[in-house]
Structure 1
Amino acid sequence: MAPAPPRNQRDHRNQGKTFLVTGGNAGVGYFVAEELAATGALVVLGSRDAAKAEAAMAALRSRVPGAHVRHLPLDLADLSSVRTAGDRLAHGSTHGSAPDPAIDRLDAVVHNAGVALDDPPRRQTKDGHELMFGTNHLGHFALTQGLAPLLSAAPAARVVTVGSFAARSERLDLDDLQSAEDYRPKRTYGRSKLAQMSFGFALDRHLRALGSPVLSVVAHPGGALDGLTPSRPPVHVTSPARRLRTLPAGLLVQGKHAGARPVVRAVLDAEVRGGQLWGPRVFGLRGRPRSEPVPAHMADREVASRLWSISAELVGADPDLGFRSRCR
């Protein structure tokens, strides 16, 4: 399959804005970054792998001539890396061949990066947390605090949490959040994404109570398959044979480029409101983005409150995550 042709021009409507996409070097995150870069914004790719980030930036620039992109070293499975991310953005960084200038505000962060394991054994982060829960939820929870000053400095910033359809059928076990007693990889993954989504909704309630202008929105890509995804070499290459084998699945699901659209909508659309859930229109699996009803178990305030308290203790976070009331 031949690579898609580059875009002819950017639309510049978000020139001057800065968006951070965790895991923006691959998968859905890459396509989110591509769409955001096409609006003229500076797009920061949060990635632990510098080589993969460089490859993604090269692919972005080939697709969006003149794109403003840069790399933020970020390992969500290492809380020391997470804690320095906000400082790197606010004070600039010299990790690359040329220094990255400081930024004074962040208009949106997309909590996208994640780990999905299919088989045992149970693995741990550098800090001793179960890898999927520690990366997908705890890493983003801690990152939110580190970015709070930059988000609060923007006129109307957004925290967009990328959830998963897999979270719909799961329920959190607050006594075994890290699957120490009963580890089943697919269930643990679904629960880690449910924790992320529950936090995203709770964060918006928290921000509203503080009178903050920052919004928290949750989005999910539906069913997003590599075989239905257009090539973006060297980040992703779909062979004609692979695409042909996957085409029948396109009746139910879609490619990762399409899975990125609800996320991009949650970042950019002026009509989006805090606390909403965005996903694909057709059975939540494919199609154009729409606002969906929030499942009751994701909006459970008691569960979310306990999850928040446990998470703050596990990562050593401020209970307010660094957001301060504007109502005082």
Structure 2
Amino acid sequence: MSSTSSILPWDVQRLPRADGSVFLVTGGNAGIGYFVAEQLSATGATVVLGSRNPAKAEVATASIRSRVPGARVRAVRLDLADLSSLRTAVESLDVECLDAVVHNAGVALDDPPRRETGDGHELMFGTNHIGHFALTHWLMPLLSAAPAARIVTMGSFAAKSERLDLDDLQSRKDYRPKRTYGRSKLAQMYFGLELDRHLRAVDSTVASVVVHPGGALDSLTPSRPPVHVRTAGARLCGAPAALFVQGKHAGAWPAVRAVLDPTVRGGQLWGPRVFSLRGKPQREPLWNHLTDTSVAVRLWDASRDLTGVDLGTIPG
């Protein structure tokens, strides 16, 4: 990666080269994950899209190749809602080391009823948090084999107003879709920060960084047919919102910077510059509730029990 990143102001349009690096983007076939993958592909790195839908992943890889000449992009089947499949998914990467993973994939349910994964976890919590927790276990040997790998966890601005109910992580008592989604993303953010504390405790070369995209709307996102098509009507309706929020291409910027910028450090939070909702990526102070390490530790222990995965055995 280019050393000029630490000297020149970060430019989202002029990313440093990352030739020879390998990056995995979960949920890289659509939404913000697609734009993370597209932007990282322009650096010369090999980018792997983790997707539970092979057909959609094929469409996304074709779109990236059409826009990024010489893009080294491919896909692997990855279903975070199926914990038993994750080891095989990681083996299918077929690489000796992994320079970064962007934990981006997630599901959001707008309406009831509550649904569960095949492992019996509430679908949003089970996919967005539990799946990434377990995936990290299987990826850790590949990440530790890289010189200075990054684990980048994509949180959400929606998590800022939420608080975890550690006695009801699965939303069995009081299921409200939007709240459950926000809490699942908050759990991811707690995990990313606690993970970095564990990594630092063993002097690991791997760093864990947390990011969020701010406000990222489809109506402000440039078209990438057939992955995403923005109609003229959507463009007009979304124009007033551009004063406050942005498209998903810009929502990808904090994650891309967290992967590439050598000045980024583990345990940091990165988001958009303007009111944390839009603009170029910058470091921001940890939200007050994210500084509560007791919640992070309890969530970590609960996640270990729910997955049977012990991330306490992180290699140094």
Q: Secondary structure, in 3 states, of the residue corresponding to 1:127?
A: coil
User: What is the root-mean-square deviation of aligned Cα atoms in Å?
Assistant: 1.2
Match in the other structure for 1:146: 138
Superposed displacement of residue 105, structure 1:
0.3
Q: Deviations over 1:121-170 (max 9, x none)?
A: 00001111000000000000000001000000000000000000000011
Match in the other structure for 1:78: 82
Structure 2 residue 54 is the aligned partner of structure 1 residue 61: no
Q: 1:110 aligns with which of 94, 102, 110?
A: 102
Shift of the 270–308 alpha-carbon distance from structure 1 to 2, 3 Å rule, reads same
Superposed displacement of residue 11, structure 1:
7.6
Match in the other structure for 2:186: 194
Match in the other structure for 1:211: 203
Q: Deviations over 1:51-106 (max 9, x none)?
A: 000000000000101100111100011111223222222xxxxxxxxxxxx21000
Q: 2:234 aligns with which of 225, 228, 242?
A: 242
Q: 1:182 aligns with which of 146, 150, 174?
A: 174
Q: 2:29 aligns with which of 16, 25, 29?
A: 25
| TM-score where L is the length of structure 2 | 0.94
Amino acid at match of 1:13: R
Identity of aligned residues (%): 72
Amino acid at match of 1:186: K
Amino acid at match of 1:195: A
Q: Secondary structure, in 3 states, of the residue corresponding to 1:218?
A: strand
Question: CA separation in 1, counterparts of 2:290 and 2:108?
Answer: 20
Question: CA separation in 1, counterparts of 2:194 and 2:62?
Answer: 37
Q: 1:264 aligns with which of 247, 256, 260?
A: 256
Match in the other structure for 2:309: 317
Structure 2 residue 129 is the aligned partner of structure 1 residue 125: no
Superposed displacement of residue 218, structure 1:
0.4
Question: CA separation in 2, counterparts of 1:65 and 1:241?
Answer: 31
Q: Is the 8 A contact 2:137 2:311 kept in 1?
A: no
Deviating runs (4+, > 3 A) in structure 1?
none
Q: Is the 8 A contact 1:12 1:40 kept in 2?
A: no
Amino acid at match of 2:90: G
Q: Is the 8 A contact 1:11 1:40 kept in 2?
A: no
Q: Deviations over 1:20-42 (max 9, x none)?
A: 00000000000000110000000
Gaps of 5+ in 2: 1-13
Structure 2 residue 36 is the aligned partner of structure 1 residue 44: no
Superposed displacement of residue 296, structure 1:
2.2
How many residue pairs were aligned?
Answer: 303
Q: Is the 8 A contact 1:83 1:142 kept in 2?
A: no
Amino acid at match of 1:120: P
Amino acid at match of 1:244: L
Q: Secondary structure, in 3 states, of the residue corresponding to 2:200?
A: helix
Superposed displacement of residue 15, structure 1:
1.1
Amino acid at match of 2:64: L
Q: Is the 8 A contact 1:85 1:143 kept in 2?
A: no
Q: Deviations over 1:175-216 (max 9, x none)?
A: 000100110001000000000000000001110001001000
Q: How does 1:149-164 map to 2 (within 5 A)?
A: 149-164=141-156
Amino acid at match of 2:246: Q
Gaps of 5+ in 1: 1-9, 90-101
Q: Is the 8 A contact 1:309 1:319 kept in 2?
A: no
Amino acid at match of 2:211: A
